[in-house]
């Protein structure tokens, strides 16, 4: 990484740290929400964009991570750090168990079975009133004083998101990440040269589940509540659209797609309640005009004009 790129990253971090002091509270909340949902979308992309795994109900791991920390905070007196660790671990364990069941299937069949299993967990969250609060959810979750305010939540989310992105970038640039991309492009040939395809895909699912659990933690920090909709399949569809919109074959594409979706939902929601109709139109336009996503399209344009052909960084296209 050259000095110029390091300087730009440093300036961006300084701007993010100063932002709560120069913009209204609403924009701080909106940006925090973008980081939470962006981390969730990027965790999905770890399995989908890099592994080629049809992870069609990723929201269930997000919801389990959020419910785990919420229940520990609301119903126990354990130290807060245990809750923050337990959320991602619970999501990773669930991802491992569901992966063991689904990994024998491929592509769309994998995704359909995952949706079925995830819907069962959603139904448990809706019906188990004595434990999960049912369809009312859990509200007023007690949070540590440092992160109980919107500014405290913002800084906490920014720090954990940055650490998670660095970890994911190291993973995708490692030999494991390169092998995962080879499996995505040609699983039969990868298996023929001795790669254990199922094992690599299972590890990718566990990693994706772990980072989605971190996003679940951050949602609780931001909202102070959880509800069953966090585990519903429609949220999984929205996350998938975020990946597709930004570019699932780029590292930072899902974060960009999240920013666009959240900005559209915030602005359109002030004029009409038919937000889902707008999202459907966006998806249709994306399929026809930007199948590689916004960031993928920009990357191709930069390469066409002789820019960044030999450079590597956080915005590289992964294939």
- Strand partners for 250: 317
Domain boundaries, the chain: 26-235
At residue 281, the pLDDT reads 83
pLDDT in tens, 171-216: 999 999 999 999 999 999 999 999 999 999 999 999 999 999 999 9
C-alpha span between 97 and 233 (Å, rounded): 19
Structure tokens at 287: 């399929």
Predicted confidence at residue 205, as pLDDT, reads 96
- pLDDT for the residue numbered 306: 57
Q: What per-residue confidence (pLDDT) applies to 312?
A: 43
Dmax (CA) for the chain in angstroms is: 61
Query: Residues near 97 by Cβ (< 8 Å), separated by ≥ 6?
Result: none
What pLDDT, on the 0 to 100 scale, is given for residue 274? 76
Helix axes 150-172 and 25-48, enclosed angle (nearest 10):
20
* pLDDT for res 84: 95
CA atoms within 13 A on the CB side of 12: 9
- One pLDDT digit (tens) per residue for the chain, 319 residues: 567 777 888 888 888 888 988 999 999 999 999 999 999 999 999 999 999 999 999 999 999 999 999 999 998 889 989 999 999 999 999 999 999 999 888 788 999 999 999 999 999 999 999 999 998 999 999 999 899 999 999 999 999 999 999 999 999 999 999 999 999 999 999 999 999 999 999 999 999 999 999 999 999 999 999 999 999 998 999 999 899 999 988 999 999 999 999 988 888 777 777 777 877 887 788 878 888 888 888 888 887 765 444 444 444 544 4
R_g of the chain, CA atoms, integer Å: 19
**27: helix, strand or coil:** helix
The per-residue pLDDT for 301 is 80
Whole-number pLDDT of residue 58: 95
pLDDT attached to residue 47: 94
| pTM to 2 decimal places | 0.90
Distance of alpha carbon 123 from the chain centroid: 22
What pLDDT shows up at residue 317?
Answer: 46
Structure tokens at 77: 């007196």
């Amino acid at each position: 990484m050259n000095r110029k790129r390091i300087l730009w990253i440093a300036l961006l971090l300084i701007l993010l740290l100063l932002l709560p002091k120069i913009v209204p509270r609403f924009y701080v909340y909106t940006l925090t929400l973008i980081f939470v949902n962006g981390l969730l979308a990027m965790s999905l992309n770890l399995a989908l964009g890099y592994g080629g795994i049809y992870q069609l109900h990723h929201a269930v791991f997000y919801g389990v991570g959020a419910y785990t920390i919420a229940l520990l905070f609301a119903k126990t007196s354990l130290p807060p750090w245990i809750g923050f660790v337990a959320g991602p671990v619970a999501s990773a364990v669930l991802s491992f168990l569901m992966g063991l069941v689904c990994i024998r299937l491929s592509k769309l069949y994998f995704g359909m079975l995952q949706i079925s299993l995830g819907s069962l967990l959603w139904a448990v969250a809706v019906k188990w009133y004595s434990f999960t609060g049912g369809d009312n959810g859990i509200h007023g979750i007690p949070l540590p004083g440092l992160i109980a305010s919107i500014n405290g939540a913002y800084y906490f989310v920014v720090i954990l998101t940055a650490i998670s992105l660095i970890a994911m970038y190291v993973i995708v640039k490692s030999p494991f990440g390169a092998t995962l991309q080879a499996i995505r492009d040609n699983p039969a040939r990868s298996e023929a040269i001795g790669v254990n395809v199922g094992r690599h895909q299972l590890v990718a699912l566990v990693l994706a589940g772990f980072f989605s659990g971190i996003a679940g933690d951050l949602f609780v920090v931001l909202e102070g509540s959880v509800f069953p909709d966090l585990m519903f399949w429609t949220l999984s569809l929205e996350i998938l659209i975020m990946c597709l919109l930004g570019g699932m074959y780029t590292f930072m594409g899902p974060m960009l797609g999240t920013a666009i979706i959240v900005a559209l939902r915030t602005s359109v929601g002030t004029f009409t309640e038919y937000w889902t109709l707008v999202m459907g139109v966006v998806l249709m336009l994306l399929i026809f005009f930007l199948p590689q996503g916004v960031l993928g399209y920009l990357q191709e344009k930069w390469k066409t004009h002789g820019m960044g052909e030999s450079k590597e960084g956080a915005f590289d296209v992964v294939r």
